[in-house]
Amino acid sequence: MYYLGIDLGGTNIVAGVVDEEGNIIVKASCKTNLPRSQEEICDDMAAVALKALESAGLTKNDINYIGIGAPGAVNGATGVIEFTNNFNFHNWKIGDMMNERLGVDVYVENDANAAAYGEFMVGAAKDANDAIVITLGTGVGGGIIIDGQIYSGSNYAGAELGHMVIHHGGRQCSCGRKGCWEAYSSATGIINMTKEAIINPYNNNSILYKMIDGDTSKINGKTAFDAMAHGCEVGKAIVDEYISYLGTGLVNIINIFQPEILCIGGGVSSQGSVLIDPLRKIIEAERYTKHNDKQTEVCLCRLGNDAGIIGAAFLGK
């Protein structure tokens, strides 16, 4: 049996054919090319889906449904994206529109939830009943699995974990609030911390400053980690601050949900043990359930950028 999942992003549309074990057999993609109409985007999603199936030697008659992971508040029961700010669409009946184009059942879920579901089905959270997946990218994404089901909230906008405030009156967040966890713990957050450190004239002789020739446009989410690896004290101070903020949010989440497992993914997670080891120490020291025999396991995600496709492909299961 094969399944087809689509990851609808603001930059790319990617479709993948997935087998029973969660292996992606083949992928096809195209640019999203925003801004465009709902009809044009659905046309391209259908074309990419058919291209992926053809590359795998299959047709739409060989699959029972397709799954789509999309940004925004997604009503999985109706297949309607009630609002997506990246696309600026309201009440997008994406499920019906894709059914018209492909003639198969369509399941739709928020993209972060779909990625969490992928990790839950065949990734790092496979053996758990309750799991949370955090992705550290441009923002901080969250997906919550409770009793084996995706939690979306009463209005399908649940699990926006990046928008809990951890610093009252703190950094401006893109959502309009100040002090959100996302403003501190995303890749954007550590980039901003690194830029602020470079602007400080006291750091002009640092390894970090010399690595980028003082040019803040060369800074990315890895820069401070790379500088720390070369013995830079400024880089280490930035990373330590970043991890302390990240740990604060993770402890909050664990204290609220007490999941069996919490998985961390996204671009920043590529730092591996440099990131996860100090986070575990913070969680060990600050969690509420210090004396409980059963504790939340904290680990890195396994599926990488394919989690959303795999999770979407399994939505009908």
> In 3-state terms, what secondary structure has residue 92?
strand
What is the full DSSP assignment across 219-278? --TTHHHHHHHTT-HHHHHHHHHHHHHHHHHHHHHHHHH--SEEEEESGGGGGTHHHHHH
Gap between the Cα atoms of 81 and 110, Å rounded: 9
Q: Are residues 105 and 160 in the same domain?
A: no
Q: Given this model, what pLDDT does residue 127 score?
A: 86
> In 3-state terms, what secondary structure has residue 91?
strand
User: What confidence tier does 94 reach under pLDDT thresholds 50, 70, 90?
Assistant: very high
Mean pLDDT, residues 238-245 taken together? 98
Q: Are residues 268 and 171 in the same domain?
A: yes
Instruction: Give the CA dihedral 283, 284, 286, 291, nearest 10 degrees.
Output: 130
Whether 72 shows a pLDDT value over 90: the answer reads no
Are 76 and 109 contacting, i.e. CB atoms less than 8 angstroms apart?
yes
> In 3-state terms, what secondary structure has residue 25?
strand
Whether 165 shows a pLDDT value over 90: the answer reads yes
Mean pLDDT, residues 282-304 taken together? 91
Q: Are residues 134 and 207 in the same domain?
A: yes
Q: Are residues 72 and 55 in the same domain?
A: yes
Total number of residues shown for the chain? 317
Mean pLDDT, residues 158-184 taken together? 94
Q: Are residues 238 and 136 in the same domain?
A: yes
User: What confidence tier does 88 reach under pLDDT thresholds 50, 70, 90?
Assistant: confident
Q: Which domain holds residue 277?
A: 126-301
Query: Is the Cα torsion angle 276, 277, 281, 282 positive or negative in sign?
Result: negative
**Residue 307 structure tokens:** 């989690």
pTM for this predicted structure = 0.87
Q: Are residues 281 and 196 in the same domain?
A: yes
Are 259 and 131 contacting, i.e. CB atoms less than 8 angstroms apart?
yes
Closest CA to 218 of 194, 248, 193, 251: 194
Gap between the Cα atoms of 213 and 142, Å rounded: 36
Q: Given this model, what pLDDT does residue 30 score?
A: 95
Q: Given this model, what pLDDT does residue 10 score?
A: 85
Gap between the Cα atoms of 205 and 61, Å rounded: 64
Q: Are residues 50 and 31 in the same domain?
A: yes
Q: Are residues 130 and 237 in the same domain?
A: yes
Q: Are residues 97 and 162 in the same domain?
A: no
User: What confidence tier does 136 reach under pLDDT thresholds 50, 70, 90?
Assistant: very high
Domain count, the chain: 2
User: What confidence tier does 175 reach under pLDDT thresholds 50, 70, 90?
Assistant: confident
Q: Are residues 151 and 292 in the same domain?
A: yes
Q: Given this model, what pLDDT does residue 27 score?
A: 97
Are 93 and 32 contacting, i.e. CB atoms less than 8 angstroms apart?
no
Whether 86 shows a pLDDT value over 80: the answer reads no
User: What confidence tier does 103 reach under pLDDT thresholds 50, 70, 90?
Assistant: very high
Q: Which residues of 119-153 are buried (b: 16+ CB within 10 A; e: fewer)?
A: bbbbbbbeebebbbbbbbbbbbbbbbbeeeebbbe
Q: Are residues 281 and 193 in the same domain?
A: yes
Q: Which stretches of the chain are DSSP H helices?
A: 38-55, 94-102, 111-122, 181-185, 187-199, 207-211, 223-229, 233-257, 273-286, 307-313
Q: Are residues 47 and 100 in the same domain?
A: yes
Are 154 and 162 contacting, i.e. CB atoms less than 8 angstroms apart?
no
In CATH, what number is assigned to the domain containing residue 216? 3.30.420.40
